[in-house]
Amino acid sequence: MSSGVRSLSVSAGFASTQRMDRWWVSPAATAFGLAVLFGYLMARAFYPTHVWFDPYISPVVAPPLVTPASGYPGSVPVDVAWLGAFPAWWPAILPRSPAFFIPALAIAFRFTCYYYRGAYYKAFAMTPPSCTVRGLPRRYLGETRLLWFQNLHRYTLYAALFVLACLWWEGFAAFFRDGRFGIGVGTVIMLVNAGLISGYTFGCHSWRHLIGGKLDCFSCNGVVSPRYRLWKNSTWLNERHMLFAWVSLGWVVFTDLYIYLVSSGAVTDLNTW
């Protein structure tokens, strides 16, 4: 008696599949989006001009550990950077950019993120490019050799939390200019940026493990643990982790672009100062 299940042959060529949908759209769009957004941020990190317009600071360089004293129009003022200007011994071949210090920790967090790893593995390594689609003929070694650093994701979380706290500080500091309280379009943009990054960070799998892991019971003795409530809220964000990953990344780019345009004089910031 036939079971009603038909056996399908699978060819050995790259991208061979039995799927009938346009499976290639997702990895192609992912590759394009990652290349554009991270490419923009990388370019801005190497040449951080117009990243400051009092009291706004671009998330590309925030918080600024050091800043160039000259050569970069619209750079963070020396008295705002934590350690002042770049030292005189700084190699001329290296860019004088605050982005390669504390802000780089946020990039390390995103690069090792479980969602982003799956996204760029499919989009660029193509092993495989999508589910039930034949990938490139490569030997899979996991994350034990070249990509061993991916296992540091749980530790980059601590750095990302520090950067996030700094972004919130910068956002609230953007209510004040020369000691006067006010609000501008840039203030709102910076606060939304911090909020979206918070949604991305607190939906992270490592964060959920930090607040809800290593427990045998969430409601022992009939009492619901406060950690359970935190874990449940984080779960809501985790279910939308991909959404927050993309929207927060795009908003970082938008925030930097807005501050660049205001600092360079291309647009006028509407504010109450």
Domain ranges, ordered by start, for the chain: 25-203+240-263
pLDDT by residue (tens digit) across 204-238? 888 888 887 766 666 666 666 777 778 778 889 88
pLDDT at 141: 63
Q: What is the pLDDT of residues 259-271, one digit of tens each?
A: 999 999 999 999 9
Q: Is residue 2 predicted with pLDDT exceeding 80?
A: no
In this structure, which amino acid lies at residue 66? V
**At 102, which amino acid appears?**
I
Residue 125 per-residue DSSP state: I
- Could you tell me the pLDDT band of residue 184, with boundaries at 50, 70 and 90? very high
